[in-house]
Structure 1
């Protein structure tokens, strides 16, 4: 059996299986802890049905990540074959494979997977993609446009004339400022939407915000009750 693991003939299939396995493990660990906390903190009722929903959510999340891993890796293997795009177009192969995988798993077109979970994962990725895209655009702009900046001595200096440490420090400064404005705008909009039309927010976010912020009508008999002991 060990010979199968070292046989190059089986390597593509083993990589797909391994990727799917990692998706199951990661999705299971992530969703189990999240679903367990949500069910224990924000939901009421008999314990057994709530634990059952935790297991179901864990299974759904793991199946989503595993399915995408299988489809994506299989599509990459096919597309990088010389019959199609070839190895030299590997970045394009991965982009198309990602689109194919998301069409089947995340888009809801086939209604094969839990819509709430695929929605959450896609929104999570979207925020990371936007941040990464902003950094790429900034790097390209600094490299191509070569803007000038004023140093501590008040002298104008081009970006290309900065040393590596200065370039890194400048980009980190821009990243930090961009993040500040992004965070301010994001949370301003979240709190506004929660007050204006909360039903449009994702359910777990809405439940957590209700638990944290809607305390106007809460009453406490003593400090133990206040602190939840």
Structure 2
């Protein structure tokens, strides 16, 4: 009796999978299904990107109990995963609703998604926007060269760019620290400020700061 029930359940599951696979192969549902898979991919990618970053940054720079740290990691991962999933869903959904994709349609759909999903000024969204901004500036510079709006550089401009970026960020850190994003402040404090303080070998080589009251 039990074996027959299990076999019947297996048959039902196989039938359900066949029906689902048949649905996924239907071209008339492709646009809607692409929106759903985009939501799935956004959620997975957001979690894969944020979880290790949040883990490292939390245990390196944040104080508090283990429970508080794990809660912070989970919250940051959830926020990144949810927002990226919502954005992909919104963007692809708007493109599907508009029909034929054009450069303006892509720009408009992404603008609407960015406003609705990433418009809240919180640490996770700020990091995502800054990550994108740096790549946008690189991309626009390359596009301007490709289109002939600016001449092809005779020499590689990257060394000059590296010098200006590092010069600017250290100037901001030393004299206008409050203008920098908090996680960048923490990283630079660890590198450039904490390295000026020690008492003995323990907090010179082994630890960054003393772990006792010596």
Give TM-score scaled by structure 1 length. Answer: 0.75
Partner of 1:127: 134
| Local SS of the residue matching 1:177 | coil
What aligned pairs does 1:1-229 form with structure 2 within 5 A after superposition?
1-80=20-99, 87=100, 90-108=102-120, 115-141=122-148, 174=153, 177-215=156-194, 217-222=196-201, 225-228=203-206
Q: Is the 8 A contact 1:135 1:175 kept in 2?
A: no
- Unmatched 5+ stretches in structure 1: 81-86, 109-113, 148-170
How far apart in 2 are the matches of 1:46 and 1:116? 21
**Which structure 1 residue ranges, 4+ long, deviate > 4 Å from structure 2?**
none
> Shift in Å at residue 216 of structure 1?
5.4
Q: Shift of the alpha carbon at 1:24?
A: 1.1
What is the number of residues matched between the two proteins? 188
How far the C-alpha of 1:220 sits from its partner, in A, is 4.2
CA RMSD in angstroms comes to 2.1
Structure with more contact order per residue of length (Cα contacts < 8 Å, sep ≥ 6): 2
Q: Unpaired runs of 5+ in structure 2?
A: 1-19, 208-214
